[in-house]
Structure 1
Amino acid sequence: MSHADILPALREAAPDLRGRLSANEDMAPITWFRVGGPAQVLFSPADEEDLAYFLSRAPSDLPVRVIGLGSNSLIRDGGVPGVVVRLGRGFAKVEVEEGGRLRVGAAVPDVKVARAAADAALSGLSFFRGIPGGLGGALRMNAGAYGGETKDALVSVRAVDRSGRIREVPAAELGMSYRHSEAPADWIFTEALFQGDEGDRETILAEMNAITDSRESSQPVKSRTGGSTFKNPPGGKAWQLVDQAGCRGLRIGGAQVSEMHCNFLINTGDATAHDIETLGETVRARVLETSGVALDWEIKRVGDFAAGREVEPFLGRRAA
């Protein structure tokens, strides 16, 4: 499907824009699941100032969403109305500062955050080696792995709000908890400042290598997947509940629950977003039936269903 072309109006509203705007851009190639429909407009800002300028000039009722490296997102088959912002080179800096601090752009892959800290002999950030995707997404959801969470080392963030105002906020004001941040939904993170501890580079690299070995032996890292699908419920493990519900290897269309780690859904090659979301809702229903636990999605489902292809959430609520 395709959306109405709103590029002429956007270019007229923001004539000095330096970033790239494109209409009806296919989203599937830039997400890890490799599924989904087009973005009405895909915007790649040149830098933070360019992003702020665009947001200050765009119509206030125009939907704006941000996508990072596409690791934790399921783009629905009907595509995404409005503007999808994808941060690129202008948000990819990594700088070591005095006092064991690391300043990182929101487009930097999490693994590179860990590597930069190791190169600077800063401990406390190696857990980022186990988080797929980019830093912006990690900030939004307080991503964590292998005993560490983003909030543990975070000092402050920079973000641009929907009106185009640039904000710099200390970490304590973000209300971060397990896989959650209370930062306003319309903020687009652009940069973060982390505090590391003085450490030994070789020891830190060994920690990262151990994380790499653990991931490769226990997770389907070479498959088309979005990462962990469901949040761990209080006191439990999502994968164990999925396994106990008999869902390991369960398949709908081209989507399958991973045999290796059953908190991962994978695209076996010809899945649609409808297949993947239907599979996820089926798993949630079976877990609720067998254990009484209602699992929450960790993967963000974005955009519109294809016509006639809605997925009914198993609890009878409209999908978020």
Structure 2
Amino acid sequence: MPDSATLALPPLRGRVQAEAPLAPFTWFRVGGPAQYLVRPADVDDLLLLLRDRPAHLPLTVIGAASNLLVRDGGLRGITVKLARGFSDIAVEADGIIAGAAALDMTVAEHAAAAGLGGLEFLSGIPGAIGGAVAMNAGAYGSEVKDVLDWAEVATPAGLLRLDNAALGFAYRRSALPAGGVVVRARFRAVPGAAAEIAARMNVIRSAREESQPVRARTGGSTFKNPEGHKAWALIDAAGCRGLRQGDAQVSEKHCNFLLNLGAATAADLEGLGETVRARVAAQSGIALEWEIKRLGEPAA
């Protein structure tokens, strides 16, 4: 297996792996390999990579891969996965500072244990903090933009600390600098009774388990909610609940979720999603927009 020198990468301290399988990292459990998978040791390692990586190799960043579909041909270039060096969580008197690899649920749990309210909604969002900031993740009436003070973003030019306004939040997106990677963020919270905060989190967890296929191989919400509409309702009205393509299925429990029943390919899942989009457009005239990120090359 080539080492970092062979790959003409800078001298990284983290792990570099060629032709690394990505399917085990994704919640769908599908997709081809990464040409090169890099797990930086820490922020300095990531900054070195961003600054000195070969220009001919495209760079993709993945986190918990909970809302990601990697196509069957895999990802060309460098795939960065933030892991151990990016998962620290620090509790402050009126907020939480969390690394990009910290899970949303874990951040919510730390806040609740410290008697800090306002971050309960994170317990209903699968994924990690880096992705939550990048896509302005939201659930149960709150979004990241409602509670974020600042985020630290690694760029080829160095590390930036950007406040809420500078991140340009909108529905399910933010305006990160070109080539920027979220590495850490601070969320403001309100001191409260730990028992009451925990109770609110339990309500969210129960609601999620009752309404979503949380124990299935899925990728979370498939399509964004169009203005004034709910994506699931449009999909249901178009007769797509339970629709299958190979081992890919529209969830019968919540039809804005796609499922891998066991042997689906990324092509099956994406194809089923496009069939859903076509049927919704024909029935309602509304074009659904993918919320799941679809990356990589189709199978050869």
Q: Which residue of 1 aligns with 2:220?
A: 227
TM-score of the pair, normalised by structure 1: 0.91
Give the Cα separation in 2 of the matches to 1:66 and 1:6. 20
Equivalent pairs: percent with the same residue? 54
Q: Report the CA distance between 1:96 and its aligned residue.
A: 1.2
Q: Which residue of 2 aligns with 1:297?
A: 290
One-letter identity of the residue aligned with 1:199 = G
TM-score of the pair, normalised by structure 2: 0.97
- Structure 1's consecutive aligned runs of 4 or more residues displaced over 2 angstroms after TM superposition are 4-10
Could you give the per-residue CA deviations for residues 217-254 of structure 1, whole angstroms, max 9, x where no partner exists?
Answer: 11000000000000000011000000000000000011
Q: Which residue of 1 aligns with 2:275?
A: 282
Give the Cα separation in 1 of the matches to 2:32 and 2:265. 10
**Is residue 206 of structure 1 aligned with residue 199 of structure 2?**
yes
Question: CA 1:185–1:77 in 2, change beyond 3 Å: closer, same or farther?
Answer: farther
For 1:245-284, list aligned pairs within 5 A.
245-284=238-277
Q: Which residue of 1 aligns with 2:129?
A: 135
Tell me, yes or no, if the aligned pair for 1:5 and 1:40 is still in contact at 8 Å: no
Q: Which residue of 1 aligns with 2:24?
A: 29
Q: Which runs of 5+ in 2 are unaligned?
A: none
Q: Which residue of 2 aligns with 1:314?
A: none
Secondary structure of 2:13 counterpart:
coil
Secondary structure of 2:186 counterpart:
strand
One-letter identity of the residue aligned with 1:65 = T
Q: Report the CA distance between 1:6 and its aligned residue.
A: 8.3
Q: Which residue of 1 aligns with 2:166?
A: 173
Secondary structure of 1:260 counterpart:
coil
Q: Which residue of 1 aligns with 2:47?
A: 52
Secondary structure of 2:281 counterpart:
helix
Q: Report the CA distance between 1:55 and its aligned residue.
A: 1.6
User: Residue 235 of structure 2 is aligned with which of 242, 254, 257?
Assistant: 242
Q: Report the CA distance between 1:7 and its aligned residue.
A: 4.5
Aligned length: 300
Q: Which residue of 1 aligns with 2:10?
A: 14
Could you give the per-residue CA deviations for residues 106-141 of structure 1, whole angstroms, max 9, x where no partner exists?
Answer: 000100111011111111100000000111110110
Q: Which runs of 5+ in 1 are unaligned?
A: 308-320
User: Residue 217 of structure 1 is aligned with which of 210, 214, 229?
Assistant: 210
Secondary structure of 2:224 counterpart:
coil
Q: Report the CA distance between 1:200 and its aligned residue.
A: 1.1
Could you give the per-residue CA deviations for residues 185-235 of structure 1, whole angstroms, max 9, x where no partner exists?
Answer: 521100001110111111110010001100111100000000000000001
Give the Cα separation in 2 of the matches to 1:184 and 1:32. 27
**Is residue 123 of structure 1 aligned with residue 117 of structure 2?**
yes
**Is residue 103 of structure 1 aligned with residue 106 of structure 2?**
no
Give the Cα separation in 2 of the matches to 1:297 and 1:88. 26
**Is residue 79 of structure 1 aligned with residue 49 of structure 2?**
no
Q: Which residue of 1 aligns with 2:186?
A: 193
CA RMSD across the alignment:
1.3
Give the Cα separation in 2 of the matches to 1:122 and 1:61. 46
One-letter identity of the residue aligned with 2:249 = Q
